[in-house]
Every structure is written in structure tokens, then in C-alpha cells.
Amino acid sequence: MDSLRAMESPQPSGKLAQPEGAGRPRKRSRRWVWLLLLVILGAGVWYFRSVRAANSVQNSAAAKRGAGRGGNPVVPVVVATAEKGDLPVYLNGLGNVSPLNTVTVRSRVDGQIVSVAFKEGQFVQRGSLLVQIDPRPFEVQLAQAQGQLAKDQAQLHDAMVNAARFDALFKEGVIPQQQRDTQQAAVGQFEGAIKSDQAQIANAMLQLTYSRITAPISGRVGFRLVDPGNIIHANDAQGLLLINQVQPIAVLFSLPEDQLAQVNSKLRAGAKLFAEAYDRDNTTKIATGKLLTIDNQIDPTTGTYKLKAVFDNSDNALFPNQFVNVHLLVETKKNLTIVPAAALQRGPQGIYVYVVGQDSMARIQTVTLAQTAGNNAGLSAGISPGDVVVIDGQDKLQDNTKIDAHTSAGGGAPRPGGQGK
């Protein structure tokens, strides 16, 4: 039995016995690793080639667009040509159209309206008939006053004859002096009565004149406030009609108090300052007039002062209470180089512009600014008339940048004389 167990028990040896097929899984795992590395390497090669191809396409497109030195791209810009001229200096303010004179026509007598001689909205001349009040009561008063005058004149004549007779009798000693003096006093009484009668006649004639209501000024009539047949009184609160003088017409506008000295010095020197009225959008000029006067005080709440300008308004373009923008011409700068204000740039070197040369290169040029007026800028030094400057696209430019120039719709600098600041 022991010999049998000894034969069945394994014998020890130097190496452990390996099972069959134990090394195959390791070989398979190594194959998958190499396969995965090959896939990653192929994807990297494909990505590198695609990126390189895209870059080559972009570089070729940039090379086609670029024509400047060193391959710099051409920058599209908008340019304008500098011009020589005079630059007007305007002060801008908000204004309101006001009639030069406004009259509310009222009756000065009591009576009934028998006729209206005007049409609503009509232009009337000074002295033309507007309303006719029934004149018959005033004609009767005039006749009564004239009759009383005739009576008193007859009595005066009789008193004067008696006074001459009494004077002769007194000289002959027939009558006393008291009787003569009494007769002379009667003459004086009738003379006073005649003067009173003449005043009554003048008053009756004046009332008769007031029954014809005429236009006190020339202007445009508004809506009538009464109709024929109405009884009106001199103390009525409501008038008969309103007349506005619109030829000429006034415009009241305001300017900041900082600009008062500039305007006031011109007026004291006797200069005539022209004012231009523009519409609400400040784009269309309506009329041109002259500055009349300045108000005598500054409004402390707004820090502005008021001015009045007068316009002929022959075409009735200005209407009472119309809102307008007023441009007051205070000065004109002579012989400046005019460029659009958009061409001006500011930097550490001061004010400069980009000047376009014959080689289509934009170069920085410092300039001296003399005056700005609206969309225009007047330069006294730096560039000359005829130079081409960049007015749009400067944010993409540097000194000596190749450009592709395009002109604006106007083709050059705006003409002087436009809106100002």
C-alpha cells in the first residue's frame, strides 16, 4: 500500500509545471495594443495633412488679396479730397416762431354787428374794414349835437348884439355898468355852450367812426369769434378776431450763456448777424433772417439767454408757434483747408489724418485744427487742398498701410456753409 502511494505522489522538481496554452492570452493582448497604436498614428497623419491643406488654402487666398510690401493685406477705406475755402462758424439753438405783432381786435362801442368784411385766414392791410356795427344810433347822436350847436350859436349871436347895444348905452350914461357887465357875461356863457356842443359833435363823430372796426396792423386774420347779428359791448372780455403780423415774423431762440460774449461783442460793434431757420429734423433750411436783439437777462434755471431774429417770411414758410432750429452765423474763417470732420484722429502726437499717396499707401500726417463746423473741419496747416484723406476705416490702418480707396457719395469734402456747432 505504501509503495502504491509513493508511486502516485508527484515528484518534486526544479520548475513548476505550466499548464498547456498558458502564454496565448498575452500574445493576443500585445496584438491589440499594436493595432490600436497603428490606428492612432494613422488618424494623426490624416489630421496633420488636412490642417496643412487648409492653411495652404488660406495662405494662397491671403497672398492673392495682399499686394503690399511684406505681404500685408490691402485695407478697404473711404476717402475724400481736401478743398480750400471759407468755413462759416454757426451757433445752434432751439427756437419758436412768434408773430412780430399780435392784436386782439375789440369793439370800442356798443351795438349790433351788421356785417363782417373779412374771411377767416385772410391777409388784411392796415386800415381795411373788418366789422361794421350799426351806425344809426351814433348818427342820431351826431344830429342832436349839431342841432344843439346851431341853437347855441344863434343865442350867442343875439347876446353879442345886445352886448354891443348895452355898451353904447352905457357910454351915453343911459344904463348902469352892472347891466352892461351882465350882458357880457351872457355872451361868455353862450360861447362856452358852443364849445361844449362842438365837443359833443366830435364825440358823436368818434363813436360813428368806431362803428367801423378796421385793421390796426397788417397781418393774417384767424378765426372770427362773433357772427353778424350779435350784440357786442365795449367791455366784452372776448374780442372779435385775432390778427398776427407774419410779414415780417420773429423767431425767439436760446443759446448757452458761454456764447453770450461772442454774440454781444458782434452786436456792439454794429455787425449784422444772419440767422437761418431749419425744420424740426434740422435738415431743411426754411428761411434766412437777421438777428434783431438779445434779451436783457440770463435764465438762471437753464443757463441760457434768449435772442430774437427777424425774417421777411415773404413766402409764409414760417408759421406762428412753429418749432425751428436756428443757426446763427457769427464768424467766417477764411482760406482754410476743408476736410470732413470724420477724417480727424487724435493720438499722443496730437490731431492727425491719414493721407493717401500716389502709391495707395496711407500715411499719418499731423495737422493744425483751426475750426470745426458741423460735419466740416478747417485746417490751417498739415495738408494742402487736393490731398486725399481717409474718412472711414481708420481703425484698421497703421502708418504706411496699403489701402483700397473708395470715395463717398459726395465725392469730396462737404461744402462749407452747412450746419455748425
Q: How far apart are CA 95 and CA 254, in angstroms?
A: 7
Q: How far is CA 16 from CA 5, 6, 12, 13, 20, in A?
A: 21, 19, 9, 7, 13
The pLDDT, as a whole number, for residue 60 is: 47
- What is the fold of 135-210? Helix Hairpins (1.10.287)
pLDDT digits (tens, 9 = 90+) for 97-119: 999 999 999 999 999 999 999 99
Q: Are 255 and 271 in contact (CB under 8 A)?
A: no
Q: Indicate the pairing of strand 376-381 with strand 274-278.
A: unpaired
Q: Average pLDDT in the 256-284 region?
A: 91
Angle at 44 between CA 40 and CA 49, to 5 degrees: 150
Q: How far apart are CA 285 and CA 124, in angstroms?
A: 28
Q: Average pLDDT in the 38-48 region?
A: 77
Q: Which three cell numbers stand for residue 293?
A: 436783439
All residues at 6 or more sequence positions from 398 whose CB lies less than 8 Å from its CB, including other chains? none
- For residue 403, pLDDT over 90 is answered with no
- For residue 22, pLDDT over 60 is answered with no
Give me the amino acid identity at 186: A
Looking at the structure, give the CATH architecture of the domain made up of residues 75-87+334-407.
Beta Barrel (2.40)
Q: Are 284 and 270 in contact (CB under 8 A)?
A: no
- Cα dihedral 174→176→177→181 (10° resolution): -100
Q: How far is CA 203 from CA 127, 151, 218, 324, in A?
A: 21, 18, 27, 48
Q: How far apart are CA 197 and CA 151, in angstroms?
A: 10
Q: Point out which residues pair with 101 in neighbouring strands.
A: 245
Count of C-beta atoms within a 10 Å radius of residue 79? 22
The pLDDT, as a whole number, for residue 72 is: 60
Q: How far apart are CA 84 and CA 385, in angstroms?
A: 5
The pLDDT, as a whole number, for residue 63 is: 44
Higher pLDDT, 50 or 420: 50
**SS3 for 368?**
strand
Q: How far apart are CA 206 and CA 171, in angstroms?
A: 47
Q: How far apart are CA 84 and CA 353, in angstroms?
A: 17
The pLDDT, as a whole number, for residue 410 is: 52
Higher pLDDT, 89 or 48: 89
Tell me the longest C-alpha to C-alpha distance in the chain.
222
Parse the chain into domains and list their residue ranges: 75-87+334-407, 91-99+245-332, 107-133+211-239, 135-210
Distance of CA 138 to the CA centre of its chain: 53
- For residue 310, pLDDT over 90 is answered with yes
Q: Are 332 and 343 in contact (CB under 8 A)?
A: no
Query: What's this model's pTM, rounded to 2 decimal places?
Result: 0.63
Q: How far apart are CA 396 and CA 413, in angstroms?
A: 22
State the number of CA atoms in the 13 A half-sphere of 202 facing the CB.
6
Q: Average pLDDT in the 189-217 region?
A: 94
Which option is the CATH number for 107-133+211-239: 1.20.1420.30, 1.10.1740.10, 2.40.50.100, 1.20.140.10?
Answer: 2.40.50.100
Q: What is the mean pLDDT of the chain?
A: 84
The pLDDT, as a whole number, for residue 382 is: 84
User: Which string of b and e fits 311-344 if b means at least 16 CB within 10 Å?
Assistant: bebeeeebebebebbbbbbbbebeebbbbbbbbb
pLDDT digits (tens, 9 = 90+) for 242-267: 999 999 999 999 999 999 998 999 89
Q: How far apart are CA 14 and CA 24, in angstroms?
A: 24
107 exposure class (CB count in 10 Å sphere: 0-12, 13-18, 19+): buried
The pLDDT, as a whole number, for residue 117 is: 93
Q: Which CATH superfamily is domain 91-99+245-332 in?
A: Efflux pump adaptor protein, beta barrel domain (2.40.30.170)
Q: How far apart are CA 421 and CA 410, in angstroms?
A: 21
The pLDDT, as a whole number, for residue 27 is: 53
The secondary structure of 95-125 as a DSSP string is: EEEEEEEEEEE--SS-EEEEEE---TT-EE-
Q: Which three cell numbers stand for residue 342?
A: 470724420
120 exposure class (CB count in 10 Å sphere: 0-12, 13-18, 19+): exposed
Quick one: angle between helices 177-210 and 136-172, nearest 10? 170
pLDDT digits (tens, 9 = 90+) for 116-165: 999 999 999 999 999 999 999 999 999 999 999 999 999 999 989 988 88
